Amino acid sequence: MESNEESPRADIRAIEQDCARLIARYANLNDAARWEELAALYAEDGRMARPSAPDQWIVGRAAILAAFQARPSRVTRHFCSNIVIEVIGLDEAEGESAMLLFTDAGAPKVGSFHDRFVRTDDGWRFSERRGSLIF
């Protein structure tokens, strides 16, 4: 049985793992062009800014889905690493991750994501996902 000190640490580790899994799931769904499932990873009022346009927010799950559906078809493979999740509370967390993107349309791109997560009735979701490109 866990001590009282261990229980909060276990909660934090579980939140970190759930949010890191959300980042990986996002990359896999993006590469598979499974837009409905990808958009469902956002809170209903979540917002997203693509790495190529980090100051242009797309707000709301429906608008995020429409933005992905409007993209030209391409083959991609995203690699996410250096994932660090900071737990703010039992229902809120923030994270940062590095991203490497390969496409069939050009040179690889290196960037990062800064995320905010919220726990919903359906589990952890992105409340905000902001990408940026380094090179």
Instruction: Specify whether the CB–CB gap between 129 and 115 falls below 8 A.
Output: yes
In this predicted model, what pLDDT tens digit does every residue of 82-121 receive, in sequence order?
999 999 999 999 999 999 999 998 899 999 999 999 999 9
CA–chain centroid gap for 37, Å, is: 13
Domains (range + CATH), the chain: 6-133 (3.10.450.50)
In this predicted model, what pLDDT tens digit does every residue of 97-108 receive, in sequence order?
999 999 998 899
* pLDDT score for 2: 44
Instruction: Specify whether the CB–CB gap between 83 and 90 falls below 8 A.
Output: no
The pTM of this model reads 0.92
In this predicted model, what pLDDT tens digit does every residue of 10-55 receive, in sequence order?
999 999 999 999 999 999 999 999 999 999 999 999 999 999 999 9
> From CA 126, how far away is CA 48, in angstroms rounded?
9
